[in-house]
Structure 1
């Protein structure tokens, strides 16, 4: 503040500052509650500039309870600070914040997205293409965004710009219709950051696919086995009365490698009355990792689990995996293989990254994807043999058929099929 005062003086600009040595959450909640309790006028702000702290808020913590008193339900300090600042803005007030990109998707930030999208107009988003360059001096590794909001303004187009770092002299700038940023058909209101015409084409193609998982009679769930809650039933190696326990370490190159010896994680789970509720029927499933390494090329890493992994009636999936199923039952073989190829395609990975700015892949994220029809997935899977994934080029070639326009039969003239 002293530095600001010095510079302002040199430029003959009036400057006044006030540092408030208080807990911001407590102070803001007290101000907001004054409105609700006794209509006492509070300080309103016309501008807010934030670089808030990034830290989780415990579900039973004092700060979480304070936030709930003013209708804010969120689990991270950065989203709490932004939500409170929005509530403290006057109508027409502007806010600029730099935060992690993680609020764009996932169930944990749904309440925050509702406040942001209902109370303000999203005007601009700046995204950095490199995870490391933007703040290399501070060793910040999150994917960060800067966004500009105006409270109470009507929502119009959104300016999205992208660059490798803050000093980039020629950022890519794109004016995007709001419906491309937030799809009105998505009840979770994911925020898509589409930075180029190529990404817009991907968004139209994948976002325009005809089916949801529920349309297909499918669902995706988080693995039921939380290992530390059933330690007595874990076994490092398979033995009598055990079944496979599949961890992310068993998902390799699109397949399941089980068991794996000489590792820290167990390979098996006792099958008994205590663990029965944690099992699923043995059969065909598609598994994905819930957490991907920063250096991993793909955000969605999908593997095919087949009943031949072990001669058992049931199997356990660990909590750091997601599994696709037919409403609690195994998947039909061709449908599973088609889904396997689809999820491992480059176009799906590129689309997923438009709203997923971190290394977590939640079941909600996968549930909000759009999918081809049952018939398309079955046709895609029918030609996929063996348990090893084809090359990326081959996967992309097969999946591309789904996005090719269908020519109605009445438009095809005799003799034209040969040229097609």
Structure 2
């Protein structure tokens, strides 16, 4: 018994007629362990209402509904009748689905072969049908010109991904105090792309329970799924209160642990972006409580931008090594261990960019900068990796630099920073507490300028003191960084 995670790559979510192995590859279907389906069913609170109407959109082979009905049969739910509406557009999966639900003659089950999003257009905005929803929706971006995007826009649901669209529509179709349990990527918790989804979710529901998998490469290890997923339970229309945070290493749930936190620790009341923070413990970080760490980049007159050089668009202007009338071009690969190494002869990336009328507007004046890699590897120890650009590396070069698009650059009005400030920023961003705090709302490997802009920073005085200390050290350990920051900010 299994449910499938669909990571669909077609323009619209449509079935394709190919062999099973190629179909799985093309649709990106990954089998979820049965244990996860039963864990999700167990997240619903006990209920002794007389009737239940369950929605399972994108039902796959029926594992989630089967787990829910298994729980009903044990008496944990007191429903005298269960109606189930299942959507599955894939004909091959429906064959397995019909075979699976035949094991539950006690339930009244309808399997709809139509597209869930398009069918929902005929049911909204007035129909609130479901008392319970269990979801493992497809994972796929929605093309801005697709039928799905146009249909969603027509009812005021601005979604960029099928998984957020499925959950959003399910929320709108759920009755007051209805329960929704879904396994979805954690990526919606932060960033501008999912702001509309977060607003809809928090306007119509209350978060009741979030489950984390500590090792993202183990929960779905049979299919090598590295997407960081969470399981979330929402209640329609209730008042915000406490949120249960649970975690386990993998889908065995052998080391399951949990704690409760007030909703204010999950969604900060003053946060207009409504980022969703998921702490791994009840500990209040110094970063959250220190009066010295409360400043925005705007308060500090510091800006952050994504590196402006997009190499494939400027390919004809790039050079493998510096030569006459070129400027240094910096990629993340130029940062080895704790220092900038440029140029590098053992890389495939270019080391320089030509200076001309087509490139000049993308270059920054040479100076001290703090930069952060935009992408980390799937299981890299640190999410934020900050480094300092020291202009002394570029002796005998023109007084401009190119920053490739995979770097975030801290600057002051597109010019360099005082050296003490560049080093202070870098050291703060490389602290253990900052990394822990960042992981609470960022569940993927991308570090966007928007995310770094949302952080709170120490005062300018503290950053400068931290920079002076950093520049005076010949070497230091992580514990030295953490101790010094605590000393300056406590």
Q: Report the TM-score when normalising by structure 2.
A: 0.76
Aligned partner of 2:426 in structure 1 is: 340
Please name the residue that 2:368 is paired with.
284
User: What is the aligned counterpart of 2:351 among 253, 260, 267?
Assistant: 267
**Aligned residues of 2:295 and 2:459 also touching (Cα < 8 A):** yes
Other-structure match for 1:65: 150
Matches within 5 A, 1:295-314: 295-310=379-394, 311-314=397-400
CA distance in 2, matches of 1:273, 1:136: 51
Give the TM-score, by structure 1 length.
0.88
CA contact (8 A) 1:290 1:362 kept: yes
Name structure 1 gaps, 5 residues minimum: 36-40, 405-420
Deviates more, 1:216-225 or 1:132-141: 132-141
In the alignment, what sits opposite 1:79?
164
Deviation at 1:3, TM superposition (A): 5.6
Q: CA deviation at 1:183?
A: 1.0
Q: Matched residues in 1 for 2:152 and 2:410: separation? A: 35
Which residue does the alignment assign to 1:391?
477
Contact 1:253 1:389 in 2 (8 A): no
Q: Which residue of 330, 333, 343 corresponds with 2:416? A: 330
Contact map agreement 2:187 2:442 (CA 8 A) in 1: yes
Does the 8 Å contact 2:195/2:274 carry over to 1? yes
2:173 corresponding residue in structure 1: 88
Deviates more, 1:132-141 or 1:144-153: 132-141
**Counterpart of 2:131 in 1: which secondary structure?**
strand
Structure 1 residue 262: deviation in Å? Answer: 3.5
C-alpha separation between the residues in 1 aligned to 2:424 and 2:341? 20
Contact 1:57 1:75 in 2 (8 A): yes
Tell me whether 1:374 sits opposite 2:468 in the alignment. Answer: no
- Alpha-carbon separation, structure 2, partners of 1:207 and 1:57: 42
Give me the whole-angstrom Cα distance separating, in 2, the residues matched to 1:190 and 1:299: 17
Does the residue aligned with 1:315 lie in a helix, a strand or coil? strand
1:387–1:276 Cα change, 3 Å: farther
C-alpha deviations, 1:222-253, integer Å up to 9, x for none? Answer: 01111111111111111111101111111222
* Whole-Å separation in 1 of the counterparts to 2:435 and 2:255: 26
Q: Give the stretch that moved more between structures: 67-76 or 296-305.
A: 67-76
Q: Which of 230, 238, 247 pairs up with 1:153?
A: 238
1:4–1:46 distance in 2 versus 1, CA, 3 Å: farther
Shift of 1:23: 1.5
- Distance of 2:357 and 2:422 partners within structure 1: 30
Q: 2:458 & 2:166 partners in 1: Cα distance?
A: 40
- Counterpart pick for 2:114 among 13, 22, 27: 22
The alpha-carbon distance between structure 1 residues 5 and 384, as it changes in their structure 2 partners (threshold 3 A), is closer
Q: How does 1:13-412 map to 2 (within 5 A)?
A: 14-32=106-124, 35=125, 42=127, 44-198=129-283, 200-201=284-285, 204-205=288-289, 209-310=293-394, 311-385=397-471, 390-404=476-490
Q: Deviations over 1:23-54 (max 9, x none)?
A: 1222223432xx4xxxxx64622211100111
Q: How has the CA–CA distance of structure 1 residues 236 and 44 changed in structure 2, closer, same or farther, with 3 Å as cutoff?
A: same
CA RMSD of aligned residues (A): 2.1
**Secondary structure of the equivalent of 1:72?**
coil
1:163 to 1:256, Cα distance in 2 relative to 1, 3 A: same
Mean Cα deviation higher: 380-389 or 76-85: 380-389
Evaluate the alpha carbon distance shift between residue 328 and residue 128 of structure 1 in structure 2; reply closer, same or farther with a 3 A threshold. Answer: same
Q: Work out whether residues 92 and 153 of structure 1, in 8 Å CA contact, stay in contact via their aligned partners in 2.
A: yes
Cα gap change, 1:111 to 1:206, in 2 (>3 Å)? farther
Contact 1:202/1:351 (CA < 8 Å) preserved in 2? Answer: no
Query: In structure 2, what is the Cα distance between the partners aligned to 1:70 and 1:203?
Result: 41
Cα distance in 1 for partners of 2:147, 2:292 equals 43
SS in 2 for 1:210: strand
Gaps of 5+ in 2: 1-96
C-alpha contact (below 8 Å) 1:287/1:324 kept by paired residues = yes
Distance of 2:181 and 2:476 partners within structure 1: 45
* Separation (CA, whole Å) in 1 of partners of 2:281 and 2:196: 29
| Contact 2:292/2:489, CA 8 A, preserved across alignment | no
